[in-house]
Amino acid sequence: MSGPALKRVDSHSAIHEAALNEAIELTNMLDKLFQNNQEEEALELAYVLIEQWETRTLAHADAEEDGLYKDLVEADPNVKDDIIALTRDHDLLRIIVGDIKQELPKNGINDATIQRFQSLIIVDELHNEKEMEVLPDH
């Protein structure tokens, strides 16, 4: 069973918006540090950004999959394909974060790292739009 904040469109949307805005802000800061050749600071911020994705967005994704998504399919089996797609979005976010975590110690910050962080934002934006369509009361 999922909590009431996940079931209400307005509060659920606010959760997404807060985490995404924070990720965008941190990614922009990371890009500026990288562009200014502040490699040490950029690397430190990259690890903070990974933690932000894991503790905010991916932890939220886990909660959705453990409760909300199951509840939605149980209430309306017609949303099953949408839920599969939304779960795949979560998987993509997990894969990209995992790739960044694996590459950072080996290669540090580079253009590919910045692009991966930016791709997280794009996937999450698209995911959030679709999820708001699927939630009841929308």
Domains of the chain: 4-134 (1.20.120)
**9 pLDDT more than 60:** no
Phi-psi region of 137 (alpha: psi -120 to 50; beta: other; left: phi over 0): left
Q: What is the mean pLDDT of residues 103-129?
A: 96
Query: Which pLDDT band, with edges at 50, 70 and 90, does 38 fall under?
Result: very high
Say which amino acid occupies 20. Answer: L
Output the pTM of the full model.
0.90
Residues of the chain with pLDDT > 90, as a percent, come to: 82
**48 pLDDT more than 70:** yes
Q: Within a 10 A sphere around the Cβ of 117, how many other Cβ atoms?
A: 24
**Is 124:137 a contact under the CB 8 Å cutoff?**
no
Report pLDDT for 13: 79
Q: What is the mean pLDDT of residues 16-44?
A: 96
Distance CA 111, CA 116 (A): 9
Report pLDDT for 31: 98
Report pLDDT for 138: 47
Distance CA 60, CA 27 (A): 19
| Range with lowest mean pLDDT among 4-8, 64-68, 89-93 | 4-8
